[in-house]
Structure 1
Amino acid sequence: MLTGRRTWDHIGPMSNVAAIILAAGRGTRFGQDPKLLARLAERPLVQHVADAALGSLADPVIVVTGHQAAAVEEVLAGLPVHIVRNAAFMDGLSTSLKTGFAALPSEAQAAVVLLGDMPLVKTSLIDTLVLEWQRMGAPMALVPTIDGRRGNPVVLSRDLAGQIEQLSGDSGAGPILRGRSDVLEYPVDDPAILQDVDTRADFGRVSREPHQS
């Protein structure tokens, strides 16, 4: 489902890197209310992530929905995103990553993978990772780090598609990235790469942080 029209007015040519937003999880640690619909500065968490991606070099922006799919898709209505539903979302995060990769257009050589519960990630960070991935010669993956800790979003080469298809359970790409010489790290000075919202306490902390895209 593609809605709206995308315009480019702040940055140069489009990249060959798509964006995949993983927004299918149940978020059980957050409580009964849908986590991704919690409102931060009058916008749902997932919309913050979508807006940041839509303002970036990444194109297209693919959103993988699952739990409360209709409600999540409703808050994204009118945005120029491509929505794909993950019917197997109950089987864990790996299924959403596989669903997103399967939806990549043929011209996409990589995808920057964002989590729908990380509203502090900014357009500028996404652009930096896309451009650095290209500058570094399109490694198998580019992972941001802060103080030696790996975070998100990550840029994953399309060449990983076969290995991603073999993932299972509630893990992302981490298991196939560990110990590889063709996975590069990129140090950043941005704590947003570690700030996801799992609990109400996490939501309270991000609510006190700057959150504009």
Structure 2
Amino acid sequence: MSTAGVLLAAGAGTRFTASQHKLLATIDGRSVVSRALQSLFEASLDAVAVVTGAVDLTGALADARHKIALISNERWASGIASSVRCAAGWAERQGHEAVVVGLADQPFVISAAWRAVAASAGPIAVATYDGRRGNPVRLAREVWPLLPHDGDEGARTVMRRFPEIVVPVACEGLPDDIDTVEDLSRWS
């Protein structure tokens, strides 16, 4: 079964009040988005893509540009659901049977988490950290039509409607996101 990994990086990051976008902020000399992308690469999935939108990430992704597909989400302002839809649509066009989606503002999700979620069975697999659901999330082709088209929830609405098809996957690593300047300062 072919499984792609997709990093969602389309949002505006409005809670991050610095002069630059949160994904371009650095931790130990590397941008938040490049750190997240490196973990996804190290998971060795069949293909890798990044959904972009509000900010130009070309410079931050330059080193990886020949290894990834960039998916432009023109509807990024409608919420994360549109980015998840973009990811599923791209995966379908590429012939993948599943897509594992994660967030570009979570630079401490490790490659082992991506691999574990990708290898899980079931229509939806969700990473758990100390019993709490997080990212990444694996979505099998059969659930793609159930995904919402817009709004600030991606697969969570499907997981609530159909809890019987959700497989929790215990993962190591940190699911912390960088949403504010204060979040970043804890790691810098």
Structure-2-length-normalised TM-score? 0.90
* Superposition deviation, residue 170 in structure 1: 1.5
Higher mean C-alpha displacement, 177-186 vs 78-87:
177-186
Q: Is the 8 A contact 1:57 1:130 kept in 2?
A: no
Return the alpha-carbon distance in structure 2 between the equivalents of residues 29 and 106 of structure 1.
34
> What amino acid does structure 2 have at the position aligned with 1:160?
V
Q: Unpaired segments of 5 or more residues in structure 1?
A: 1-14, 208-213
State yes or no: 1:174 paired with 2:160.
no
State yes or no: 1:35 paired with 2:22.
yes
Q: Is the 8 A contact 2:10 2:51 kept in 1?
A: yes
* Superposition deviation, residue 146 in structure 1: 2.5
Counterparts in 2 of 1:181 and 1:125: CA distance versus 1, 3 Å: same
* Superposition deviation, residue 186 in structure 1: 1.7
| 1:22 maps to which of 2, 5, 8 | 8
SS in 1 for 2:109: coil
| 2:47 maps to which of 60, 65, 71 | 60
> What amino acid does structure 2 have at the position aligned with 1:56?
A
| 1:197 maps to which of 167, 178, 181 | 178
Q: Is the 8 A contact 1:120 1:206 kept in 2?
A: no
Return the alpha-carbon distance in structure 1 between the equivalents of residues 129 and 111 of structure 2.
18
More strand by share: 2
- CA offsets, 1:77-110, max 9 Å, x none? 2311100111111111111111111111443111
State yes or no: 1:101 paired with 2:88.
yes
Aligned residues: 183
Q: Report matched runs for 1:66-85 at 5 Å.
A: 66-69=53-56, 72-79=57-64, 80-85=67-72
* Superposition deviation, residue 73 in structure 1: 2.0
- CA offsets, 1:145-203, max 9 Å, x none? 22331111111112111111x3321212101112421111122343x12x011111111
* Superposition deviation, residue 59 in structure 1: 2.2
Return the alpha-carbon distance in structure 2 between the equivalents of residues 67 and 147 of structure 1.
32
For residue 211 of structure 1, what is the aligned residue in structure 2? Answer: none
For residue 127 of structure 1, what is the aligned residue in structure 2? Answer: 115
Q: Unpaired segments of 5 or more residues in structure 2?
A: none
For residue 133 of structure 2, what is the aligned residue in structure 1? Answer: 150
Q: Is the 8 A contact 1:58 1:112 kept in 2?
A: no
Structure-1-length-normalised TM-score? 0.80
Moved over 3 A (4+): none
More helix by share: 2
Q: Is the 8 A contact 1:19 1:111 kept in 2?
A: yes
SS in 1 for 2:62: coil
Q: Is the 8 A contact 1:73 1:83 kept in 2?
A: no
> What amino acid does structure 2 have at the position aligned with 1:81?
I
Using the aligned pairs only, state the percent identity: 32
